[in-house]
Chain A
């Protein structure tokens, strides 16, 4: 027990420091980047720029881990531990911050920029005032990212070493080494309680005050645009590093190809199953979302502990006796359950809120759940439903952290990629990671197509 408490103390301190530094740097760089994002012209230029910035945050952790390793390892020894985790977290999150704050800058601070222009304020002063004007959004993002980094599991599992562990990793170690469910549960409660303290703090409100583009130019910082886009391009390029060599290795070994084909099928199954289950969960959400407490739970920050969820399933279901397909089905169910709060925050909540008035009317008119769903929700939100299913598939394609708790051995491409990274076989890991992401990407595109098809059918 004493050793456990010592370890908890040390992990808590490292975790806290890591989360504070990661979220602070992500917000600071992202805030600077926001003044570059607004320089991107609306249209294709803006879409490509934002996509580049959002990609590391939207793609599974596997992508950012691989990219970070590929960017650093060819030049110097990778700083495994707290620094390595911080680098990966910042690279994953600064782009999202830049895009969110860039949009907030456009929609919220038009009046300030116009008045500053009329009063003849210098560019530096106007930028400073805008930064202050974004303080509420920046603070909210800081707390949000703090929670994400504090509860992170995938990144510290691979890059964390001793000093980069989080409480999630400690739960994993406790369960793996000692099967200490009580310790693990205690850790999960401590983590949840800590996260709860921050749960009330994210309330971003964006006004609809759109400024004239010519006034926005007054606070546009070209350096910010070039720097943030350059880093994003490097992250994407880093994920391709070693790809030709990896492909060569793959092509020269028939056994390897045969092995990977089996794991590709595993990944395909997991992506498709997670996609379908997420769709089913969201249908259920629309039946239940009228209850405020349900919305509060899903939109809050206390996501279930990934590791604890995995081990509870492990203890409840005799996974070792199950076939690979059954194991994949259980992994898919658990993963879909775990990503639900994130997906709800990402798109689900706005789906519910945008139909609020119509749903009120339907209830007053006495319509039952099924009629409301069939006639009101489905025809109007089918596109969003399918987008969510697609994103769930994409995230599932990079899932190794949860799958590793229940799989027993490498049964998907993401698990294989993690094993290869652990052995520093980065070229092959790059190929496998991309195969994995392409599998998820294919399901994502399929979902989008289905969304368009259903939309045209119901129009």
Chain B
């Protein structure tokens, strides 16, 4: 998939990506120092920030489709943010099913997918618990299940391990890799931790002062 003209000016900072080819399979890592523009790139691609010049063309069975021309709700993207942003008043199960409901997935199909994800991610016993009482690792797994239940076109992982204790990061990385591989969802991982990149990424892109490059 090709991203073109990702250009935006902020206060004293300019994001300027003329063309960027991302693998349409596996995990691509986007790395760079704080303030280099990583999060802004994700927010623009998700549609949370406007970028009129952007073009993001993907191949579909119906032909090429420019995701940037679609409203945010129709892009069928998914994201796991650093703080996971679960709905704290809902149970873990309802958090995951919310995404299915948003996509108007049939109830039976949603339940089938939920069961599969719950088994794969080991969150079956957590489904009835309110999100606000879950631990960091549990939240991460629920957020991942929520992102994948819709089988999105593209998944963004924004520093997904930074809120976890160092001891559980290794297992978390392995779990994320295996589930992303299983679902064959092209993924952009944003991280400045070399261990994340080494464990997960098949391609690495570096961002510095708003520009991308293949070299660190």
Contact = CB atoms under 8 A, between A and B. Distances in A.
Interface string B22-56: 00000000000000000000000011100000000
A371 B87 contact: no
Interface in A66-106: none
Contact of A364 (B78, B83, B87, B90): B78
Interface stretch (B95-103, B167-175, B199-207): B95-103
Interface stretch (B69-77, B110-118, B188-196): B69-77
A365 interface: yes
B83 A368 contact: no
Contact of A366 (B83, B89, B102): B102
Interface string A339-379: 00000000000000000011011111111100100011001
A376 B94 CA distance: 11
Contacts of A375: 87, 90, 98, 101
Contacts of B76: 366
B73 A358 contact: no
A364 B98 contact: no
A365 B85 contact: no
B83 A357 contact: yes
B85 A366 contact: no
A380 interface: yes
B103 A361 contact: no
Contacts of A376: 87
Contacts of B74: 366
Given A357-B81, A357-B83, A364 B89 contact: no
B150 interface: yes
Among A362, A364, A367, the most chain B Cβ lie within 10 Å of the Cβ of A364
Contact of A368 (B73, B75, B146): B73
A367 B85 contact: no
B48 A360 contact: yes
Contacts of A367: 73, 98, 101-102
B82 to A, nearest CB: 10
B102 A365 contact: yes
Contacts of A364: 46-48, 72, 75, 77-79
A458 B90 CA distance: 10
Q: Which of B73, B76, B81, B83 has the most CB of A within 10 A?
A: B73
B72 A363 contact: yes
Contacts of B102: 362, 365-368, 371
A441 to B, nearest CB: 30
Interface residues of A, number: 18
A371 to B, nearest CB: 6
A459 B132 CA distance: 13
B101 A361 contact: no
A363 B85 contact: no
Interface string A429-456: 0000000000000000000000000000
A299 B78 CA distance: 31
Interface string B135-147: 0000000000010
Interface string A272-298: 000000000000000000000000000
A326 B31 CA distance: 63
Contacts of A366: 73-74, 76, 99, 102-103, 150
A368 B76 CA distance: 13
Given A365-B150, A367-B98, A368-B73, A358 B85 contact: yes
A261 to B, nearest CB: 44
B87 A358 contact: yes
Given A361-B79, A364-B79, A365-B99, A379 B89 contact: yes
Contacts of A365: 78, 98-99, 102-103, 146, 150
A368 B72 CA distance: 11
Contacts of A362: 98, 102
Contacts of A371: 98, 101-102
Given A365-B102, A459-B89, 8 more contacts: A357-B83, A364-B78, A364-B79, A366-B73, A366-B76, A367-B73, A368-B102, A380-B88
Interface of B: 46-48, 72-79, 81, 83, 85, 87-90, 98-99, 101-103, 146, 150
18 contacts: A357-B85, A360-B46, A360-B85, A361-B85, A362-B98, A362-B102, A363-B48, A363-B72, A363-B73, A364-B46, A364-B48, A365-B78, A365-B99, A366-B74, A366-B102, A366-B150, A375-B87, A459-B89
